Every structure is written in structure tokens, then in C-alpha cells.
Structure 1
Amino acid sequence: MNASRHPATVSDVMTRKVVAVTLETSFKDIVRTLEQWKVSALPVVADGTRVVGVVSEADLLRKEEHREDDAPPVGAVPDKAAAVTAEQLMTAPAVTVRDDAPVAQAARTMALHRVKRLPVVDADGALQGVVSRGDLLKVFLRTDEDIARDVRGIVMVDLLPEAWQSVGIDVVDGIVTVSGLLADRSLVPVVARMARSVEGVVDVRFDLTSSRV
């Protein structure tokens, strides 16, 4: 990732090469596609690119779980155990994330819905890619030098412009250490919060002296 003082967005880390299925895709074709692409879920699209649902391995396994159940009455609306197309199998509406959303928002959405991957869509709901937990971790691959530059820019320039000579900021393995003389210790929580807002920061630590408490 390139150095930037702006929070990373989903479009910065997502996988753009993505496969999707249509509403009419058959059960067996879905299984084949999952196996071919080595994924556990697929977006379901309508009108070419609009994401309308997601079909997962869990949706497909309903058929195996209910293999010995009685067949549904003729004409009944099929549940997932009797489904044969993506439209019948999928979970809808799909949980998606916008391509311009911050990485942190995507992480919260994954945690909230307990999913490992999210279809990425644009403002019109068209499929742009997929973002996974592994993709979100890419922000932690930024170099210590890039992180330090961003933290100094935010903390030293925006918050503490008068402290250039007395406060130092160093980064090792993503851990930020703020050291030196800080005249007002009440600024410590503010400095910590602003430093943690920088992409790639693992932790923030302080080694400070103070002219007043």
C-alpha cells in the first residue's frame, strides 16, 4: 500500500478478480464454481452486475442435512433443502460493502454478520470485487517508515506543531512510541487516538516526561 494520511478504503485492498453466479445458476454449477475458485461463498447477480444475494457452502449443505426428510408437497415454495437454483438457495438481501467505505467499516460489518468475505459494490449496487479478512489485514503490511511519516504528520503538524523539538515519534513493527517532553499530559489520550487512526498502527506507547502534570 502507498503511504497516505487518508484512511484506506475497501477499494485499496479488495480483490478485483471475482466470480459470481446468476439467479438461474444450477445447484451443481454452484458447487463446481466454489470448488474451482476455492471459495466458500459466491455473490449472486441480476441484470449482469447488480448483487442481489450470496450463496454459500452452508446454504448448499441444507440439502445434505435434510436428505432423508419427506419431500415437500407438490407446488410448495421450496426451502433451501429442496432448492435447485441460486435464486432459491441464496441468502438475500446480500450483506455488501461500498468500494469507497473505510477498511474499518468493512471489518465491523464482517464481525457483525459473522462472515469472512463481503461482495464489494459501487453506488449503484454493481459488483466491483470481493473483500476478505485477509484483504483487510493488508493495511498492516505498510512499512514502519510510512506509518511514522503519517503519525508525525497528524500528531506533530496537526495537533502539536510547537512540539517538534521536544517530542519524538518512532515506529517498530507497527508499534508507535511517543517519547520526550510533553508539556500537557492531558493530551496523551488525544495523541493516542489520533495515532491509532493511522492505517497499519498495531499499538501506541508512551515514554514521556512532563513539565507539569
Structure 2
Amino acid sequence: MLVRELLTRDVVHVRDTSALDAAVRVLAEQRVSALPVVDATGRVVGILSEADVLRLHLSADPRAHLRPVADAPAEPWPATVLEVMSPDPVVAHEGSDVAEVARVLADTGWKSLPVVDGQHALVGMISRSDVIRELSTRDADIWLRVVRELAQLDRPRWTVSVARGVVTVSGVRGGRDARLAAAVAATVPGVRDVVVQGTDEPEGVDPAEQSMKDSDPAD
């Protein structure tokens, strides 16, 4: 799967010069964990996450402490998003492999990544929930989509089965056809892995044509 097949395009974002208070309200009202930050040209320059906001100074509540809390110098609350955001974020592109993005999200603990175009302009976001949603696709739905894709290749002897998201394509002859079957099946959203089971027939030889040749008395 490619990122373009899963990403959410209509996403809320903020400017680097936006007021921080307004951006925090957007985080709360939209119930998102992070907002992409863009500059005046629309290029992604940062991420404002819940963690970025939580790192700001909050006054201690004396009711939660047995001893009086020492007065600490008040730290001014930042005025703009630029002062708090995480700059130069990791981004994905529409043609990125979802498998690679999923590994990044898992290894870092991030919940989402901005998706940008060739000019680094914001295109959308891809999140862990987007990937999980596709991985939860029913086997029957995956089977139907794989069969439709493979039907365009005109290989009537190929058969497809799906178990827990793993697609098995059987009756495939030769290395070239095996690679083709695997590549096409892997593009279907929800597919976790592809197994290609070949035959002993040589690549590029149609069994019906070979049978006719074997029975031809002139040979």
C-alpha cells in the first residue's frame, strides 16, 4: 500500500505565527494529538503536539502536596506556535510505502506524520489509526479486491485465497509471473503479506497449447 491510499487530506493545520492559545484550543476541540505547522507559503515547518504543550510550565496545585510548594519564578506563556512547536518534523510522501511509515510510527511512538508533496507543501496526514483501520479489513473484502486486480492480467488459472490478511495466489508459472502476482496483490489495501505458489510448468508456456503440441502426429 502507498500513503496516498490511506492519508487524510482535509486536515486542520496552523501557521507558525498563529497564537499559541488558539492552537491549543484547536487541539482540544478537534481531539487530535498533533497539528502540522506551515509557513506563509504552505510548506510544513513543524509539528505542534500535545506533548509540546504539556512541556510548558504549569503552576503546582498546593492541595496535592503535603508541604508548601516553594514559589517559583513565573515563566511567561509563549505567544506563538513557533516558540513551542517541534521544528523540521519527519514527513511522508504520497508515494511512500505504508509499511515503512508504520515502522516509523511504531518505533517512535508518534501517532501521525504530515504528508507533503515535492515542494514540501502540506498534502494531508497519515496516522496509526489509518493503518490499523486498513489492517482490520475483512478477508472477504480483500479477496474480492485482489481477484478484481488479478483479473485484469488475464491469468484464468490463478486462484486466490485469503487468511487473516495474508493473500495466497496459486497456479502461477515462472519467476516473472510470480513477481507480477505478488506485486499486484500487495497493492490492495488491507493485505498483510503475499504468498505465491507456483506450478511445475515452464514459464511462458500455456498448458493447452503444450497439450496440442504433444498430441500432434507431425511432431
Q: Which runs of 5+ in 1 are unaligned?
A: 1-7, 73-77, 158-163, 185-189
- Give 1:29-40 correspondences, 5 Å limit: 29-40=22-33
In 2, Cα distance between equivalents of 1:151 and 1:108: 28
SS of the residue corresponding to residue 63 of structure 1 reads: coil
Helix, strand or coil at the partner of 1:95? coil
Deviation at 1:53, TM superposition (A): 0.3
Structure number with bigger Rg: 2
Unaligned runs of 5+ in 2: 61-70, 201-219
Aligned to 1:93: 88
Q: How far apart are residue 99 of structure 1 and its match? A: 1.9
Deviation at 1:113, TM superposition (A): 3.1
Aligned-residue offset at 1:139: 3.7
State the partner residue of 1:24.
17
Percent of aligned pairs sharing the same letter: 34
Give the TM-score of the pair, scaled to structure 1: 0.66
Higher relative contact order by CA 8 Å / sep ≥ 6: 1 or 2? 1
Matched residues, number: 185
Amino acid at match of 1:129: G
1:113-152 matches, cutoff 5 A: 113-140=108-135, 141=137, 142-150=141-149
| Per-residue Cα deviation, 1:18-77 (whole angstroms, up to 9, x for no partner) | 1111122222111111112110111111024111000111111112457664356xxxxx
* Superposed CA offset, 1:55-113 (max 9, x none): 111111112457664356xxxxx8xxx53311010101122111222222322332343
Question: What secondary structure sits across from 2:90 in the alignment?
Answer: coil
Check if 1:102 corresponds to 2:101. Answer: no
- Which among 70, 82, 93 is matched to residue 73 of structure 2? 70
Measure, in 2, the Cα distance between the counterparts of 1:32 and 1:98. 28
After superposition, the C-alpha distances for 1:138-180 in whole angstroms (9 at most, x for unaligned) are 44435321134557889x96xxxxxx75x74322453334668
Q: Would you say the 8 A contact 1:148–1:176 is kept in 2?
A: no
Aligned residue number for residue 111 of structure 1: 106
AA at the equivalent of 2:124: G
CA contact (8 A) 2:14 2:36 kept: yes
- Counterpart CA distance in 1 for 2:195 and 2:94 is 32
Q: TM-score, normalised by structure 2?
A: 0.65
Query: Which digits, 9 at most, give the CA deviation of each residue in 1:99-142, with x for residues without a partner?
Result: 22222232233234321111111100111111111222344435
> 1:56 maps to which residue?
49
CA contact (8 A) 2:112 2:128 kept: yes
Q: Aligned equivalents of 2:133 and 2:36: distance in 1? A: 23
Structure 1 window deviating more from structure 2 (18-27 vs 118-127): it is 18-27
**Cα distance in 1, alignment partners of residues 103 and 122 from structure 2:** 20
Segment drifting more, 62-71 vs 36-45: 62-71
- Give the Cα separation in 2 of the matches to 1:38 and 1:137: 18
3-state SS of 1:70 partner: coil
2:186 and 2:194 in contact (8 A); partners too: no
